[in-house]
Amino acid sequence: MGILAGQVALVTGAGRGFGRAIAQRLAAEGARVALAARSTGQLEEAAQAIQSAGGEALAFACDVTDPGSISAALSDVQARLGPVDLLISNAGVPGPFGPLWEVDPQEWWRAQEIHIRAPFLLMHGVLPGMVERGRGRVICVSAKAARIVAPHLSAYCTGKIAQNRLVAEAAAELAGTGVSAFAIDPGFVPTQLARETMEDAAAQKYLGGMVDRLKERVDDPSAQDDLARCARRCLDLASGRYDDLSGGYYELPDDLDEALAEKQAATADQSSSG
């Protein structure tokens, strides 16, 4: 029996990379995992791998930017696995790359639909049930781009900082409900998205330094380590131990125990002074 036994987790973008690693770790800790993405080919393979390891997982086709698709998927998840206790919003895109005045406006806005509209719609779908049951957790996979200005990466940076604020707003509104929300940076791994970035002509033109670092990382034998670290971070936040940190954005080097102690001390100081 793992620490997530009896819980249902929904992981988007779960067919590969970070999403798949997260789903596998959650399943190993007893969660019944719903794997969601637009294409079910990789999802089915990921679900079979989890099942072969003794876990429980099912694949669900879902366009996370479409309200109707999300609603249908959530109904299917509930019917087959149960109501969602844990949401991992992981879908993302790296581009478009280049100056604001050169990128395709429709492609730029499509990126925002994936970065912002998708987690909003997913939370809109799962939070009513979580609040009604008095328990639940949401984790949005954000990025360090949320706290930097990176020329020629405006779609990604804008989407990720907005994603973090969405989590903070949700957490403030969820205070006292028993439901928590977090944003995390997953780390740096040459996933398929990274490979697509390396092959993108605009990224090569405007972000040569980043492309070079990605290429170096591909040949680094330790490059996959952050997959496990990210999955562990999601498990830690899903455990409930760090619910007092709801609303925060955390990167892998961050010490959650230290952050928790600081938060609890600050809360105690406010209570004593009040």
Q: Which CATH number is 251's domain given? A: 3.40.50.720
- Whether 13 maps to a domain, the answer reads yes
CB atoms within 10 A of CB 107: 13
**What is residue 180's three-state secondary structure?**
strand
Q: Interior CA angle at 217 toward 214 and 221, to 5°?
A: 160
Cα 215 → chain centroid: 24
- Whether 100 maps to a domain, the answer reads yes
Enclosing domain of residue 33:
8-188+223-273
- Whether 203 maps to a domain, the answer reads no
- Whether 204 maps to a domain, the answer reads no
Q: What span, in angstroms and rounded, lies between the C-alpha atoms of 250 and 255? A: 9
Q: Which pTM does this prediction carry? A: 0.94
- Whether 215 maps to a domain, the answer reads no
For the chain, 274 residues long, give each residue's pLDDT as a single digit of tens: 799 999 999 999 999 889 999 999 999 999 999 999 988 889 999 999 999 999 999 999 999 999 999 999 999 999 999 999 999 999 888 899 999 999 999 999 999 999 999 999 999 999 999 999 999 999 999 999 999 999 999 999 999 999 999 999 999 999 999 999 999 999 988 777 777 888 888 888 988 888 888 887 777 777 789 999 999 999 999 999 999 999 999 999 999 999 999 999 988 887 777 6
Active site residues: 142, 156, 160
Q: CA separation (Å) from 198 to 94, 145, 155, 160, 209? A: 11, 17, 17, 20, 11
- Whether 218 maps to a domain, the answer reads no
- Whether 196 maps to a domain, the answer reads no
Cα 10 → chain centroid: 11
Q: Tell me how many domains the chain contains.
A: 1
Q: Residue 158 class from Cβ within 10 Å (0-12 exposed, 13-18 middle, 19+ buried)?
A: middle
- Whether 58 maps to a domain, the answer reads yes
